[in-house]
Amino acid sequence: MYALMKRYLIILCLFLNVGVFAQSDSLDYFFDDGGISSSTKTINLHLLSPLNGTYTISLENSFTKQIGLDIGASYLTNYYHPELEFTSVDFEPQGGFGYSLQPKVYFDIPRTKTLERYFSLLFRQKFYQVELEKSRVYTDIGSTIGLHQDFGRRLVLDYSIGIFYRSYSYSQKVNTKNYLQGSLLALVSVRVGLKI
Amino acid sequence: MRYFLFITFCACCYITWGQQVYFNDDSLRMIWGEDVVNVTTGGTQQVSIIGKCDGDYYVLIGNQLEKYDTLLRFKKSKKLSLSYKNKPLTLEKIIASGDQLYVLSSFLNVKLNKKFLFVQTINKISLKLDSNLKKIAEIEIKSPFDAGRFEIKHNDAGQNLVYFIQPKNKRRISVLAYNKNFELEWKNEYQFRNNVLIEQILITKEHDVHVIGITYDLKPNKFKKYKDYNKYEYHILSFFDNGQVIKEHEINLGNKIITSAQMTSNNNQNLLLTGLYMDDEETEGVFFAKANKNSHQVVLEKFYNLGKSYFQEHIYEKGLSRGHPPIFDYVLKDVHVHENGSVSLITEQHYILEQMEHYPPSRVMLFYHHHYNDILLFHFGINGELLWDRSIKKHQYSRNDNGYFLSLSSFAIDDKIQIVYNDTRKNLNPENDKVFAFHNVVSNTVITSVSVDVHKGTIKKSPFTAQKKVDVLLVPKQSIVLDEHLFLLGKKGKHHRFVAFDKQ
């Protein structure tokens, strides 16, 4: 008898719990969107960088509604074409890697909810392997302005233009003297991103 | 004695510090409050006048909720931060309903494909949000880019209404009615024959809801009333008996086309409809219609043809051709129902001209010229007869500022209609026939009040002048009528201030 009562009580408790789990009228239910609206991180793929012989992927983290930081990593192929450069540089790379840091400040555009504009500073370095050279390093410092647009649920598009100063240093294997040059370049960037 | 005089002097300074009071010769009082520091010129979207609650005025400036006393002195400010467990909410509206302040906010849930509307109260003393967030409505969205819009309306009796066109079906309107505490009283839906735009919604004291809808058979973003004026229809949709009885009435006027219309109700709660129309031959005029509240049938319909050139003659730009009948450039500003049952209609001519200028070698600039011109008044008797029509000459112009200081505000008091607007000092001379344009030049501006006696049809212009220049400008588009006085935003010198008009 006692065992039977115990069994009935357990079954009753299970049904009560099922009722609680199935409740959908709490406020949490209305705000459960899989974390999309509170997502602060976006993985971006740079669509135009392959034109320069670079494959770049970056991670942007939003610290507040206005401030974010984009950290990128690049794989450099053996093809090089400069960005919109005002002085030409001619060399044949054999691959390499790079990184970038881009802090951003966002400004709301009135009466739009999915479109924001931003201003950012850009710092990046590219380390090329070149025959007959020990190393070739490109260092870019500049700024960009851009538009950030939400598309659908997790997709974002980012467009920007900017200008930056590139300094590049290289030293030859035979002659170990270091050379340093610089030039001014313009930048056009289009990225597609996924909120995570 | 010296001490007493000093105290009195300090008290007078305290009362009038930052605040000024002006009178015109029609006994209309204009009170200016203290500086409002968060408002910038041209940012009309920043300021929202909420209303009055427990004697204090509440306004929303950006995301700052601010409180002012009856003398327009600043009392308190609080930044509103709407969120639920770090998920941001979008502010829809703040309402002063009864003796409470309500915040309505929405959240777009892309996972559930729904947009939810929530309500919560604000503590009137601390201006903090109370933690009583409650969901009151939801829209099933088509996509995150077509999520629909909640429209919220409330009346003086504290009755609240939420309505929206369903994004998945642009012919279907949903209406939800709430009491003053936002408890649902009834909800219903209706599908029109075609896509519909809601022109106006009216809630009567008996909680009946009347909707003016414009139906059209075109893509939603392609429809323009002045271009497609032979392709749309006006409909009145009414919800009676707690939303259980629905009646739709198409306003079929034969060869007449309604260009604008506004509903109101008279003291007997009959539904009144008045506005402007034109016919196939482009003659233009005003109409008046009345529907019986019990039978819901239109019992009175009157049309007054004012002639082909009546509305054309109020355009100041010579030779200007707008490409459409001039009646489409008239906006219905207000409809006032007076104690004796007569109705006054105020319209204003408004149009925007676009101009593209090329500056060599490659610069192109786009200019938007805003024109707000003559005011036309029409007064109907209790049986819809047109007793008189008047025009008030006015010419206001600005460029690329959304007409920030242009247009007018009006309120009715003691069977008189008071209309206020910014005007130029050049128009102060009554002997001058020519109407000079107001151009946003502060030093040359005078606030003009026009008093219209509805019984006699007489108009009296009474500008607010002072011995020295007052240096003030009104922002008529940011105004609200509360308890027989007008409360609106203005600008004095470099700063914005709130201003109130009432009768002494």
Among B45, B86, B135, beta carbon nearest to A30: B135
Question: For residues B113-144, b (16+ Cβ closer than 10 Å) or e, as one string?
Answer: bbbbbbbbbbebeebebeeebeebbbbebeeb
- Give the angle subtended at the CA of B68 by the CAs of B67 and B71, to the nearest 5°: 170
Q: What is the pLDDT of residue B275?
A: 93
Q: What is the pLDDT of residue B9?
A: 55
pLDDT band at B178 (very low <50, low <70, confident <90, very high): very high
Beta bridge partners of A59: A43, A71
B107 and B118 in contact (C-beta within 8 Å)? yes
Specify burial of residue B219 (Cβ count, 10 A radius: 0-12, 13-18, 19+). Answer: exposed
B303 and B294 in contact (C-beta within 8 Å)? no
Q: Which two tokens stand for residue A109?
A: 């555009």
Residues 6+ apart with CB under 8 A from A145: A117, A118, A119, A120, A160, A161, A162
* C-alpha B221: how far from chain center: 23
Nearest-CA distance B4 → chain A (Å): 54
Q: What is the pLDDT of residue B88?
A: 87
Say if the Cβ atoms of B45 and A111 lie within 8 Å. yes
A155 and A142 in contact (C-beta within 8 Å)? no
CA dist., res. A116 & res. A104, Å (int) = 12
Q: Does residue B220 have a pLDDT over 70?
A: no
Q: How does pLDDT run across B335-377, given as a tens digit for each residue?
A: 999 988 899 999 999 988 888 888 777 778 888 999 999 999 9
Q: What is the pLDDT of residue B492?
A: 79
Q: Does residue A155 have a pLDDT over 50?
A: yes
Say if the Cβ atoms of A37 and B143 lie within 8 Å. no
Question: How confident is the model over B430-441, as a mean pLDDT?
Answer: 81
Reference B133, options B119, B115, B122, B123; nearest CA is B119
Question: How confident is the model over B206-225, as a mean pLDDT?
Answer: 81
> In Å, what is the CA distance from A190 to each residue of A138, B59, B102?
21, 41, 43
**CB neighbourhood size of A148 (10 A):** 21
Q: Does residue B13 have a pLDDT over 60?
A: no
Q: Which two tokens stand for residue B470?
A: 């007052």
Pick from B11-15, B110-114, B162-166, B334-338: least confident = B11-15
Question: For residues A64-94, b (16+ Cβ closer than 10 Å) or e, as one string?
Answer: eeeebebebebebeeebebbeeeeeeeeebe
Among B86, B118, B135, beta carbon nearest to A38: B86
Q: What percent of chain B has pLDDT over 90?
A: 32
DSSP collapsed to 3 states, B367-382 = EEEEEEEEEEEEEECC
Say if the Cβ atoms of A153 and B144 lie within 8 Å. yes
Say if the Cβ atoms of B109 and A30 lie within 8 Å. yes
Distance between first and last Cα of chain A? 55
Question: How confident is the model over B414-429, as a mean pLDDT?
Answer: 88
Among B45, B88, B135, beta carbon nearest to A110: B45
B237 and B223 in contact (C-beta within 8 Å)? no
Q: What is the pLDDT of residue B309?
A: 81
Residues 6+ apart with CB under 8 A from B174: B139, B163, B164, B166, B187, B188, B189
Question: How confident is the model over A184-194, as a mean pLDDT?
Answer: 89
CA dist., res. A189 & res. B16, Å (int) = 58
Reference A37, options A62, A72, A67; nearest CA is A62
CA dist., res. A113 & res. B260, Å (int) = 31
Q: How does pLDDT run across A27-75, given as a tens digit for each residue?
A: 899 999 888 888 889 999 999 999 888 999 999 999 988 899 999 999 9
CA dist., res. A77 & res. A51, Å (int) = 11
Q: How does pLDDT run across B251-301, given as a tens digit for each residue?
A: 877 788 888 999 988 877 788 999 999 887 668 899 998 887 766 677 778
pLDDT band at B467 (very low <50, low <70, confident <90, very high): very low
Q: Which residues of A touch B109 (CB under 8 A)?
A: 30-33, 37
Chain A CB within 8 Å of residue B108 CB = yes
* Residue of B109, B135, B149 to mutate for A, most A C-beta atoms under 10 A: B109
Q: Which residues of A touch B90 (CB under 8 A)?
A: 113
Question: For residues B390-418, b (16+ Cβ closer than 10 Å) or e, as one string?
Answer: ebbebbbbbeeeebbbbbbbbbbbebbbb
> In Å, what is the CA distance from B217 to each residue of B224, B247, B344?
12, 21, 33
Reference A74, options A49, A93, A37, A92; nearest CA is A49
* Residue of B83, B85, B111, B149 to mutate for A, most A C-beta atoms under 10 A: B111
**CB neighbourhood size of B463 (10 A):** 17
